[in-house]
Amino acid sequence: MSTRTSATSPSRPSITPTFLTPIPGLEPDPIQKITPADLDENNNLLHDLILFGTQWPFPLSQKYFQEFKDLTGSPPEFPARDYILWAISPDGTRMGRLTPEGQNTMLFMPRSPDQKPVVVEYGIHLNNPNILTIPLPMECYTYERPADYCKTFEFSADGRYLSYTFNESNCSRTLSIMDTQTREVIYQNEVNGYYPEFTNNGKAFIVGGQCEGGETLLVDLETGKEQIAGDYAWSYEWNAAQDALVVQVHPYQGLTGNSFWGYDVRNDRLFSPPKIDIPLDSPATWVPAGTDILYNHFELLYNESDFSYTPKAPGQIVRMNLGNGKTQVILSDLHYDYWLCERCVFTHPDWVQVMRSRISANPGELASNQASVIDCLGHGECLMNRETMALNWRTGELLPWDQAPAAPPTPTPTGRYKPRQEDLAPLPPGPNAKPLYTHPSGDFAFYLGADGTSLWRVIRNGQPVLWVENGENFIYLP
């Protein structure tokens, strides 16, 4: 399970860069194609460049780089989340993809401006005093199939740990976690989820199992100790303070098993709702302050005669306090089923949108109503009439939705990762943006777009011109 190996890079061949025709509209100097090579050792190329990473195959703006394909060839279709490192000179005369085909890398930007950016050194050697590089062990260079190469790189938030996977087998890969300070592989396991979820207390969640799901382990990266955290984690939803998370659990098949579990980082404590025979405790959502969790609770009866389920009691809304783990039913009524929305709307920090459906007292209608509830829980086919209400999650007070106290909308956090910009138009830099690079003459400068994923060139007294879209971690290397 846990192994410790040192990482050393194998020898890398030197590649002579090629010179191609210039791009119309840019400076008339020859365009030099930057290739995966020993850039600085032999050719002194890694200077006066803007470096950036991307998880997309073609980040350069189509409008202003129509001939980029002539420089690099038709870009291959990289697998999802494969991370590619690119470089472009501010004058537009040198550009290229630094990551070789069949490999990928990761560019890490530390939180402190006093720390240098870090690049995973995979297939290339970047020799520049302004960046640090991390070599990989031989397991990343000895693969036999394209699917086996090292990929899915992920740094912990502080940069202390680096994870990656290799050697694909059915629905799993081998996961390695490296200590970036010692360059040792400190953890290794077969996994189903390729990206661990690092916490700021030296631990990580690892998803194991095969094609039909599995379980999630909580691993202490200092000691290698493992414990089962809960069922398969498809995603992690952090609270506003980023000190606790919730995982929604969905069964691979069938109706039962919808629930959640979570982790309180400050107290190093795993938690889950109380266990009963056949519960459905889903969905669960953080309140805006991140101090409590609200969740939908149904109890079911199993009918062996026809292998079906029947609601045992009306649906409730339950509150769990993060500090003490105690639960409290805050909304329950014999005449109504109450439903918590999948992505809750908080019109006020204390008021959340819920729905309710009346439970018929007529025995004939009751059976139909119960069947509709099961369809809604199991398949999302909610055909019953439901009215929208506003619930004060602190007091249990219930009001019609149009009477809910008004306040600026407070979205519920659903994770730490930004949504991708694939379908969004790049946003030019704002009026107070600071330049990433300014030409010594002051004639032009480069700025990050307001979306944080695009790069814009601004000529003095001119309008921003889009150069790169869908990039991340932009840095300038003098």
CB 201 within 8 A of CB 220: no
Tell me, what's the pLDDT at 112? 84
Amino acid identity at 357: S
CATH number of 238-415: 2.40.128
Residue-level pLDDT at 249: 87
Q: Which residue has the tokens 């369809």?
A: 375
Helices vs strands, H then E, count in the chain: 3, 34
Residue 417: predicted pLDDT:
34
pTM of the model: 0.79
- Domain ranges (residues) in the chain: 1-236, 238-415
CA-based nearest residue to 322, from 287, 280, 283: 287
For residue 415, what pLDDT is reported?
Answer: 39
Residues 388 and 353 sit within 8 Å (Cβ to Cβ): yes
Q: Which stretches in the chain have pLDDT values below 70?
A: 1-45, 56-81, 102, 210-213, 252-257, 342-343, 364, 366, 375-384, 407-424
pLDDT at site 87 = 85
User: What pLDDT score does 267 carry?
Assistant: 94
Give the phi and the psi of residue 233 in degrees, each rounded to 5: -100, 110
Name the CA radius of gyration of the chain, rounded.
27
Q: Which tokens belong to 16?
A: 């002579």
Angle at 13 between CA 41 and CA 109, to 5 degrees: 60
